[in-house]
Amino acid sequence: MSAWKEKRAPEFELDQGIATYRGYGTNWFPRMPAGIEKLWEYAGIKLFEKYIKAHGLPDVVHVHSMLYAGVIALRIKSRYGIPYVVTEHSSAFARGFIKKSSLTIAAKIQAGAENVFSVSEKFSATLEEIFPKRSSPWGVVPNIVSQKFTDAAVGKSKALKEFGFLNIALMNKNKNQKNIIEAFAKYFPKNADITLTIGGGGEEMKSLKELAEDLGVAKRVRFPGMLSRARVLELMSATDVFVLSSDYETFGVVLIEALALGKPVIATRCGGPESIVGERDGILVDVGDVHDLGKAMIRLHSEYFKFDPNEIRARCVERYSESVVARSLLEIYASIDSKKLSPNALIG
């Protein structure tokens, strides 16, 4: 067995009690959306047949991507008469990265769905514009914040004299961490007790480290690299303010994780954050505006104690906790099939 096969996830496992089936193969048509569609349909139906052999037919299928999980759902509906719903997450639709041929496939998928949702109000409005012929509107079902974050202690996990800003994201141009470094260097040029941590990895790491050196703040800008989920929780617990600087996000899970820990946040008005960050949760700033970002960092440093961590958490739990979002989903499923859903009634 080759090394890549040794590292891949098992073809079947109980993932936190959920029966999970996986298939592996080769994409023979990387530049042909119609070919990819057929491959997904073929592979997906094979996995679905394994599922129903062990668990029976579900009442509802929930897919989290029109391309190409939705292709499987549409085929299941055609063959078995099982309805499906869609929650779309991909920012590629809003950023214009989807080819016309793929948009044609996606239009077919959303037209066949009982309900369609995205994870934020702005993204749903964008999808309404892309797919204007749908009879019912795009709704919103947000992402879930893990209970590990809502169960963790509110406040700093250890007594630190320094004040810390934190960003966690892949290091690519869309995440735009260079603006955070520039704002930090401009508005906190000599503050030895104020730090910035940028967690994650990616193509921009080298240039970001060089920028911190060039601006004279390298000693106070930390790059811990790729992070486990446990390390994310640890760093967020130990920081004061979380900063998101992206050019575009459909949601922003890191924001609700920070809010669940009672941290005030700064985020760009890049799509998803506008549905998440209220005045008592932090500050929204314009995309790409280093001055706006720097002023927000100054304000949260000086007015930090005006933000109540327990209230920040309570608002987050009220909107994004596992129980709240699960209840919304169950109401959606029940509206499709009025009979009582059993634990095996859903596949997604």
Domain check: are 131 and 173 in the same one?
Answer: no
| DSSP SS3 for 243 | strand
In the predicted model, is pLDDT for residue 6 greater than 70?
no
* Whether the predicted pLDDT of 342 surpasses 60: no
Per-residue pLDDT tens digits for 303-321: 999 999 999 999 999 999 9
Q: Which is higher by pLDDT, 72 or 348?
A: 72
**Predicted confidence band at 21 (pLDDT cuts at 50, 70, 90)?**
very high
Residue 21 tokens, joined? 């089936």
Give the range among 61-75, 149-163, 199-213, 272-286 with minimum mean pLDDT. Answer: 149-163
Confidence of residue 28 (pLDDT cuts 50, 70, 90): confident
CA dist list (Å): 295 to 23, 33, 301: 49, 45, 10
Residue 26 and residue 48 in one domain: yes
Name the pLDDT band for 100 (thresholds 50, 70, 90).
very high
Report the alpha-carbon distance of residue 60 to residue 57 in Å, rounded.
9
Kindly state whether residues 47 and 163 are assigned to the same domain.
no
Distance CA 301, CA 73 (A): 48
What is the predicted pLDDT for the residue at 4?
38
Same-domain check for residues 199 and 216: yes
pLDDT digits (tens, 9 = 90+) for 265-293: 999 999 999 999 999 999 999 999 999 99
Residues 10 and 125 in one domain: yes
Q: What is the tally of structural domains in the chain?
A: 2
The domain that holds 95 is classified in CATH as: 3.40.50.2000
User: Given a cut of 90, is residue 216 above it in pLDDT?
Assistant: yes
The pLDDT assigned to 340 comes to 42
pLDDT-derived band at 348, boundaries 50, 70, 90: low
pLDDT tens, position by position, 181-204: 999 999 999 999 999 999 999 999
Token output for 25: 């193969």
Whether residues 36 and 160 share a domain: the answer is no
pLDDT of 219 strictly over 90: yes
**Amino acid found at 222:** R
339 has a pLDDT exceeding 50:
no
State whether 175 and 309 are in the same domain: yes
Same domain, 152 and 76: no
| pLDDT surpassing 70 at residue 156 | no
Give CA–CA dist 10/235, Å, rounded: 30
Task: Answer yes or no: do 40 and 96 share one domain.
Answer: yes
Peptide bond between residue 51 and the one before it cis (omega within 30 degrees of 0):
no
Structural domain range at position 108: 3-142+323-347
Same domain for 243 and 125 = no
DSSP helix/strand/coil, 227: coil
The percentage of the chain sitting over the pLDDT mark of 90, rounded to a whole number, equals 82
- Strands 12-15 and 18-21 turn out to be antiparallel
Position 244 pLDDT exceeds 90: yes
pLDDT for 278? 97
**pLDDT at residue number 167:** 98
- What gap in Å lies between CA 263 and CA 257, rounded to an integer? 9
151 shares its domain with 281: yes
| Averaged confidence pLDDT in the chain | 92
* Single pTM value for the model: 0.90
Residue type, 11: E
Q: Which amino acid is residue 121, in one-letter code?
A: E
DSSP 70-136: HHHHHHHHHHH---EEEEE--TTTTTT-S-HHHHHHHHHHHHH-SEEEESSHHHHHHHHHHSTT-SS
Q: Is the pLDDT of residue 161 over 50?
A: yes
User: What's residue 134's pLDDT?
Assistant: 83
- Mark whether 47 and 103 lie in a shared domain: yes
